[in-house]
Amino acid sequence: MNSSVRISRPPYPVRDRLVRWGVEANERLTGSTALVLLVLLALEGVTVVSVHSLLTLHVFVGMLLIPPVLVKVSSTTWRFARYYLGSPEYRHKGPPPMALRVSGPFVVALTVVLFGTGVLLLFGPGAWRGRLLQLHQVSFFIWFALMAVHVLGHLGDLLRLSTKDWARRTRGLVPGSRVRRLAITLSLVAGLVLALLTVSRVGPWVHGA
């Protein structure tokens, strides 16, 4: 047999398929959710400028954000766990830049504090409101600074991945796009229901009830 004859191989080895189907599926979910959050957070940011006059909208958007935030935290935590538990496809992909790895846990922790204090301000005892409001405000400023760094660090991934599950020509390249779209859609529906059920609490809170 002529040793110079080359044996053709599949264009995508098993390892590459694992990376594309596992890691990229997670990246697509993270990117799509991040885009939704970016739009909603921009709207929430507008309410912060005049939060007293826009408190109802502030609360509505804040509650609407909670389910998509949970989806985003879940997808990023999954990547974090899979990488540090030694999953081959996530190891092959490699970690995020060091600055993002360091800031990521703080962003998640501050997100929990920010949204948690917001919910407690609506449903917690009136005696807690002064301290909760202070913690809510302080956590927002720290969270905003870290989030700005986080968003800028992931901006390239956001632009590259956020619409791939929604565009007809790219959504079928990685299996599970329908499930990922459904997860994001359901999170928005759940957020809308949560916001509608909660917004009535704004009036009593303003009047100290």
Digit-by-digit pLDDT tens for the chain (209 residues) are 444 444 444 444 544 544 555 888 999 999 999 999 999 999 999 999 888 889 999 999 999 999 999 999 999 999 888 888 888 888 888 877 777 778 888 999 999 999 999 999 988 887 888 899 999 999 999 999 988 888 888 888 888 999 999 999 998 888 899 999 999 999 999 999 999 999 888 876 655 54
In-domain check, residue 7: no
Assessment of whether the complete model's pTM goes beyond 0.95 = no
State the pLDDT at residue 1: 47
Q: Fill in the amino acid letter for 86.
A: G
State the pLDDT at residue 129: 85
CA distance 116 to 150: 21
In-domain check, residue 23: yes
* Residue of 59, 60, 61, 71 whose CA lies nearest to 34: 71
In-domain check, residue 72: yes
State the pLDDT at residue 20: 53
State the pLDDT at residue 14: 46
In-domain check, residue 5: no
Residue span of the structural domain in which 29 resides: 14-203
In-domain check, residue 1: no
In-domain check, residue 92: yes
In-domain check, residue 209: no
Number of domains in the chain: 1
In-domain check, residue 59: yes
Can you say whether the dihedral through the CA atoms of 45, 46, 51, 55 is positive or negative? Answer: negative
